[in-house]
Structure 1
């Protein structure tokens, strides 16, 4: 494949699309394949709709040689183009991965760096084999900072993303139990996320390490440039102000920072943003203002008031480590009444029953005014709580209650749809 020819097309039309439904005039269309679709079928339609160029990998659809590039693999071409574009920059490229908190941490870092630099970051959670190259190709020539989120559900994914994004800096938020179907074990998760450290170690990169997690300190050994943060003795220290529904923390540089994020479990995410901001010379007052002005979205660590009740919405995703952190944080909040609506944890593989039982056992260690467990996974374990099969049933249950002055935690895996319990309240 002639990457230079393709890159010249990109420079003339620096906007890439893989979905004809979102196509804008001038976009370069990449015809990707999936288990149930073949993007090559839509290549000519994309050109007819105004695409400037199309990259295909099926000769049967090579209908316009002047405006189509036939390759062996359109996805590989997309990734090669993204890597080539990345190589035109000498700015910091900060890669973020981890089990929990990737998107929140990425957004916090983007917000902090963006208060002082022209900063471009992954949109939403476009952190997979398609999203990473699309993110890279969305970065314009005037960028001063780039923040790239990398998700994974099996080994060697992060390694592949690093070959495309070539990060100069990196951060692992934490290592926990998630996507166990793909990783096999927590040790598999550690190896997979550790591929980011492997890249930085081999390429004289810089890593930001939370000192509060000894396993990250251990994993980062041998990396040439290590910047630490956390509550423990570190390059950038902070102190958590406990007992409040919204996270508050204090650092020597910023003073007291009042965030709009729920929970002490977000402390490392905010500290990462503070540490990275200070490391790159963002003034402390800008850092504080950026963090205090950041409002979470997409049901991630959100507080929502409905009448006299307060909903803690954390319904974007759930796994054993994030569920444990959310429950323990909820227990620490001072509130007259507490109710939990928890959805099942998906992709747990053969550990599913054990992990759901462990969650139920954790819940029984404390008093709650009511607990509702949603999803068939909870039907297979022993617990004394209300069991409902779907989030729609949970919404109806909630509508029938007459809660006043109550804190209500809503959390579960994305596919359970726990966000649906709230609108009807």
Structure 2
């Protein structure tokens, strides 16, 4: 049970041993770490479990052989406390095999794409990647056969596995939309070397995963790896200051900057029904919420026009797009007259701010439920105090799920004399209490949801 729980945390940390080790010795209840999600028993996870068990059994057996039952029991206790290091040793042992397997899979995926003749479009950014992917797939799907990476598949090995598993679908004339994620410089470049994107979209850059990247400059450099390795044209979100202020540092062969300023007559529909706007004389209507989605729609529209998709078809596709699950997804309960806006997959400060702006449309009480954001590094305190200030000015009731970040939000709420807030120990406790806290006419937004390794 302990071993399973620890490997689950290692998996949650993307097999980053040092982050895993830091978590283990600051969360000693190793028998109950697997709470919110479950371990995925990949071949790597099973191998780690088997090898770690062999190491532990060997160490325990040697302890009893050399020190007898009394001394062996003491050494056994020490062995239990060092299980994370047994897992680390197993991880090190598997490293050469893992690298070979990764090379083999990436090479195979590259061969499949090159042989198929599909056109590849890459999408990256600190936020908005999945929403942009879904918008673009809907638009291009009107004229082309589209393949897209599924949710949460945005690493080199994940993308390679997807290509190999669906190799028969990759045929000439199709378009492959690839969402690309990264935690450090070089990772997006490696994905680009595998898929060779002809077109790309850079959605935006902010402090998301700053703790892993090290600095905002490194984040910017990492995200621009996609435009730099795009063979035909890249589309940049010029509403994002980190893109707008830095794109000239990079030798981009061809780029097109897109801004929401290009849209005219923007109308925000009542009751969270969506948006309307005009672009180049054509009326657009969408069920997506929050005006930042207009920029994402325009980025996708500009790329579709590059592929000669008629504007009327684009507008028709945009109108048909349903709200993206867990990304500003409105869910109305007619029986209780409560509107839930599920933004639980948002994990960045731009999304928090956008959600607060959206909440201002509510006619009843404005309620927010959040555990805060993670991986913000040295900017975490500043950003969470900023979030607390935003809440104090625009939110009637703040529900916090206790995490290392929430005290900073709480402190800022008190500093602004905002006393209508509650702190829950767990997500389960918070959700169970919602039926008592919420009342008719309320609008509540769920902002971010964390895995076990962040509590």
Separation of aligned partners in 2, 1:184 and 1:153: 10
1:354 corresponds to 2:382: yes
- Trace 1:220-231 onto structure 2 (pairs within 5 A): 220-221=247-248, 222-231=251-260
2:339 aligned residue: 310
Look up the SS of the partner of 2:287 in the other structure. Answer: strand
1:52 aligned residue: none
Is the CA contact 1:344–1:416 (under 8 Å) kept in the aligned structure 2?
no
The structure having more radius of gyration, on CA atoms, is 2
User: For structure 2, which runs of at least 5 residues remain unmatched after alignment?
Assistant: 1-38, 52-96, 414-418
2:11 aligned residue: none
- By how many angstroms is 1:263 displaced? 1.2
- The structure with higher relative contact order (CA 8 Å, sep 6+) is 2
What's the TM-score once normalised by structure 1's chain length?
0.75
- By how many angstroms is 1:71 displaced? 9.8
The change in CA–CA distance for 1:92 and 1:82 in structure 2 (over 3 A counts) is same
Separation of aligned partners in 2, 1:123 and 1:254: 34
- Trace 1:342-421 onto structure 2 (pairs within 5 A): 342-366=370-394, 368-376=395-403, 377-379=405-407, 381-382=410-411, 383=413, 384=419, 385-415=421-451
1:178 aligned residue: 208
2:170 aligned residue: 140
The change in CA–CA distance for 1:37 and 1:205 in structure 2 (over 3 A counts) is farther
- By how many angstroms is 1:274 displaced? 1.9
What's the TM-score once normalised by structure 2's chain length?
0.71
- By how many angstroms is 1:99 displaced? 0.6
User: What is the aligned-residue RMSD (CA, Å)?
Assistant: 3.2
Is the CA contact 1:319–1:413 (under 8 Å) kept in the aligned structure 2?
no
Structure with a larger share of its residues in strand? 1
Separation of aligned partners in 2, 1:157 and 1:255: 39
2:267 aligned residue: 241
Instruction: Choose which of 154, 160, 183 in structure 1 pairs with 2:190.
Output: 160
Is the CA contact 1:210–1:229 (under 8 Å) kept in the aligned structure 2?
yes
The change in CA–CA distance for 1:71 and 1:176 in structure 2 (over 3 A counts) is closer
The change in CA–CA distance for 1:281 and 1:371 in structure 2 (over 3 A counts) is same
Look up the SS of the partner of 1:232 in the other structure. Answer: helix
Separation of aligned partners in 1, 2:49 and 2:185: 25
2:364 aligned residue: 336
Separation of aligned partners in 2, 1:72 and 1:96: 25
The change in CA–CA distance for 1:304 and 1:84 in structure 2 (over 3 A counts) is same
Separation of aligned partners in 2, 1:296 and 1:243: 14
* Matched residues, number: 357
Is the CA contact 1:118–1:142 (under 8 Å) kept in the aligned structure 2?
no
1:124 corresponds to 2:151: yes
